[in-house]
Homo-oligomer: A and B are copies of this chain.
Amino acid sequence: MEQLWQSTGVANLGWGQVFMMMIGGLLIYLAIARKFEPLLLVPIGFGAILSNIPIAGIAGDQGLLGYIYHVGIETGVFPLLIFMGVGALTDFGALIAMPSTLILGAAAQFGIFITLLGALALNLVPGFDFTLADASAIAIIGGADGPTAIFLASRLAPELLGAIAVAAYSYMALVPIIQPPIMRLLTNKKERRVVMQQLRPVSKLEKILFPFVVLLLCVLFLPSAAPLIGMLTFGNLLRECGVVERLSRAAQNEIINIVTIMLGLAVGSKLSADSFLTVETLGILALGAFAFCIGTAAGVIMGKIMYRLTSGRVNPLIGAAGVSAVPMAARVVNKVGLESDHHNFLLMHAMGPNVAGVIGSAVAAGILLAVVGGAAQ
Chain A interfacial positions (CB closer than 8 Å to B): 7-10, 12-13, 21, 25, 28, 31-32, 35, 38-39, 42-43, 46, 49-50, 53-58, 60, 62-64, 67-68, 75-77, 80, 208, 212, 215, 218-224, 226-227, 230-231, 234, 237-238, 241-244, 246-247, 249-251, 253-255, 257-258, 260-261, 265, 370-371, 375-377
Counting from the closest, the 3 A-B pairs by CB-CB distance are A250-B257, A56-B226, A38-B243
Alpha-carbon separation in the docked complex, A371 to B55 (Å): 13
**How distant is A354 from chain B, measured CB to nearest CB, in Å?**
21
Complex CA distance for A244 and B260, rounded to whole angstroms: 11
Task: Check if B257 sits within 8 Å of A246, measured CB to CB.
Answer: yes
Knowing A8-B220, A261-B250 touch, does A208 contact B53 (C-beta < 8 A)? no
User: A246 — nearest CB in chain B belongs to which residue?
Assistant: B257
B7 and A375 form a contact (CB under 8 A): yes
State A139–B258 Cα separation when bound (angstroms). 33
Do B223 and A35 touch (CB < 8 A)? Answer: no
Besides A7-B223, A13-B219, A31-B244, 17 new A-B residue pairs in contact (Cβ under 8 A), listed by A number: A7-B224, A8-B221, A9-B220, A13-B220, A38-B241, A38-B243, A46-B237, A53-B223, A55-B224, A56-B226, A58-B227, A58-B230, A64-B227, A246-B257, A254-B254, A254-B257, A255-B261
- Interface SS of chain A: helix
Q: Which residue of B lies closest to A43 (CB)?
A: B247
Chain B contacts of A208 at CB under 8 A?
32
CA distance A55 to B377 in the complex (A): 8
CA distance A136 to B145 in the complex (A): 48
- Chain B residues with Cβ under 8 A from A50's Cβ? 226, 230, 234
A226 near B53 with CB under 8 A, answer yes
| Contact call B42/A243, Cβ cutoff below 8 A | yes
User: Complex: how many Å from CA A265 to CA B12?
Assistant: 39
A227-B377 contact given A38-B243, A261-B255, CB 8 Å threshold: no
A261 to B81, CA, bound (A): 11
CA distance A226 to B260 in the complex (A): 22
Complex: how many Å from CA A327 to CA B186?
61
* Complex interface: chain B residues within 8 A of A261 (CB): 238, 247, 250-251, 255
